[in-house]
Amino acid sequence: MTFDYTPHQASTRDALSRLESMLRHREKTLPGTKLRAYVERFFNMKDVFLDLAAVHQEPLYVLDHENLRKQAGIFKETFAACFTDFSCYYAMKSNSHPDVSKTLLEQGFGLDVSSGVEVETALSLGASNIIFSGPGKTAKELSLAVANSSRVTVLMDSPGELERLNLLACQAGKKIRVGLRITPPLSPWKKFGVPMARLGAVWKRAQECEGLDIRGLQFHTSWNLDPSQQTKTIAAIGKEISQWSSSMLHSLEFLDIGGGYWPQAGEWQVYPATQAGQVQKLAGLDIQKPLEHFYAPASPLEIFAQSLHQALERHIFPVAPCRVCLEPGRWLSNGAMHLLLNVVDKKDPGLVITDAGTNAIGWERFEMDYAPVLNLTRPSMEEKACEIMGSLCTPHDLWGLSYWGEDIQPGDVLLIPDQGAYTYSLRQNFIKSIPRVVPMP
């Protein structure tokens, strides 16, 4: 008996070729001038943070209302330069602290929510313009939306959800404003939205439902370092709706193009996050290069606004001159919170332990992401290698592999800036208490 191993051998060769390519790939090095300017900016603010640390003497989230208001103004002004009819909704999931949402409501934003808990928070804050998206909405959550139909628009995620919502609305004797979420053609996440091929049929069904007032479409692409994913999806939507009847298009009042806009600083990474680092880690090699930092650059917000407007002018507005909705989250909240930690123990020259664990940010972020750790007590524009660990009983409790400072000793106050996005919202009750939130003076 003989066996043909050719397919297996071919797949192995393909895998090895791919790994070799990854080893040779070179990510962009984070520019030293960019990094030093960033560090210096926060060292110039060190007295504000040191005063807070002296008063509270515990790990803190410092909420920066001024930064949040500034980002909100920049976002609206940038899109206003291109669009005349648009609305902005803050994606609460990026930072769920009520003061963040409250501040953005005061800046004229609506709220984008993804659960019944977030709906309740938005209502308690007095929000009058709420969009409710996300898969798997329960009957209780949909009923809450129906009960507050004057303030909530539901972005339906599936035909089944459409039928459940219609039934609840009819039972309540109400007609609720809704949109329909689309699965982006290039997205690997099938759990979100309705595939483009079924969009027209589901839209027609929604128009037939007595409890639904269908008015818009929505899509969302994540981790947008540039607008290419969004513009490609806009083109695909334009191709689809160009085949719709006039009665279908007449109801289309808004297109929600979601969020996912990456802050202009780009995505900062440690060596293990690079392609070469991943291969070497898989091979069991030592891959710690604490003073080497990499980044994926992000487009300026002006490029997003201009590119999105051009795509809409070309593919959507000639067919349906609708209002545009935007759902920024990370772009707004990234700089809205900073973390203050205290060094508790120095186990050797290259290892210190802090009084806060990474349960404060909810995941092993800094095994992949790079965020400068600034020693405010002994400031210096020199970066030194040292493992900065938290105090949780897990080896993954890592804040960083280096710090900026003259030295590092027990009692020193450390700052990790710009930790407002997808950290506070992911915090978890695991071993250590969660830091308190205090406002920045």
Q: What is the pLDDT of residues 351-361, one digit of tens each?
A: 999 999 999 99
Looking at the domain assignment, is residue 273 inside a domain? no
pLDDT at residue 154 in the model: 98
Instruction: State the residue range of the domain holding 317.
Output: 66-267+297-332
Instruction: Output the pTM of the full model.
Output: 0.94
Q: What is the CATH number of the domain that holds 353?
A: 2.40.37.10
| Same-domain pairing of 404 and 255 | no
pLDDT at 22: 62
Residue from 202, 128, 127 nearest 161 by CA: 202
The SS3 assignment for 58 reads coil
pLDDT score recorded for residue 20: 64
As a whole number of Å, the end-to-end CA separation of the chain is 80
Whether 165 contacts 154, CB under 8 Å = yes
- Whether residues 55 and 86 fall in one domain: no
User: Which of 292, 187, 180, 294 is CA-nearest to residue 244?
Assistant: 180
What is the C-alpha to C-alpha distance for residues 276 and 264, in angstroms, rounded to an integer? 25
| pLDDT recorded at residue 10 | 58
Task: Please indicate, yes or no, whether residues 351 and 367 belong to a single structural domain of this protein.
Answer: yes
Q: Are 223 and 351 part of one and the same domain?
A: no
384 backbone dihedrals φ, ψ, rounded to 5°: -125, 145
Residue 380 in domain: yes
pLDDT value, residue 5: 41
Distances, alpha carbon 339 to alpha carbons 25, 42, 61, 374, in Å: 33, 12, 5, 11
Q: Are residues 321 and 343 in the same domain?
A: no
- Given 310, 332, 354, which residue is the final one in a domain? 332
pLDDT for the residue numbered 2: 39
> In this structure, what DSSP letter does residue 29 have?
B
Domain identity same for 304 and 408: no
Same domain, residue pair 193 and 226: yes
Domain boundary residue among 311, 332, 353? 332
Give the three-class secondary structure for 85: coil
Residue 373 forms part of a structural domain:
yes
Rounded to whole angstroms, how far apart are CA atoms 307 and 229?
A: 11
Q: What is the DSSP letter of 192?
A: S
Q: Confirm whether 278 is domain-assigned.
A: no
Final residue in a domain of this structure, among 277, 312, 332: 332
pLDDT for the residue numbered 157: 97
The total number of structural domains in the chain stands at 2
Q: What is the pLDDT of residue 273?
A: 84
CA 273 from chain centre, in angstroms, equals 18
Assign residue 418 a region: left if phi > 0, alpha if psi is -120 to 50, beta otherwise? left
Residue 381 DSSP label: S
Q: Mark whether 137 and 246 lie in a shared domain.
A: yes
Shared domain check, 364 and 241:
no
Between CA 115 and CA 155 the distance in angstroms is: 12
Alpha-carbon dihedral angle through residues 148, 153, 157, 159, given to the nearest 10 degrees: 80
- Buried-state track 262-295, b at ≥16 Cβ within 10 A, e below 16: bbebbbbbbbbbbbbbbbbeeeeeebeebebbbb
Whether residue 147 lies inside any domain: the answer is yes
Q: Is residue 274 part of a domain?
A: no
CATH code at 176?
3.20.20.10
The pLDDT value recorded for residue 404 is 98
Q: Are residues 315 and 176 in the same domain?
A: yes
343 Cβ contact partners less than 8 Å away, ≥ 6 residues apart = 352, 353, 354, 355, 408, 409, 410, 411, 412, 413, 414
Instruction: Decide: 122 and 100 in contact? Cβ < 8 Å.
Output: no
Parts of the chain with a pLDDT under 50: 1-6
214 and 115: one domain?
yes
Confirm whether 88 is domain-assigned.
yes
Burial 297-335 (b: 16+ CB within 10 A, else e): bbbebeebbbbbbebbeebbeebbebebbbbbbbbbbbb
- Whether 318 and 232 map to the same domain: the answer is yes
Residue 15 resides in a domain: no
pLDDT in tens, 256-309: 999 999 999 999 999 888 887 787 877 777 778 999 999 999 999 999 999 999
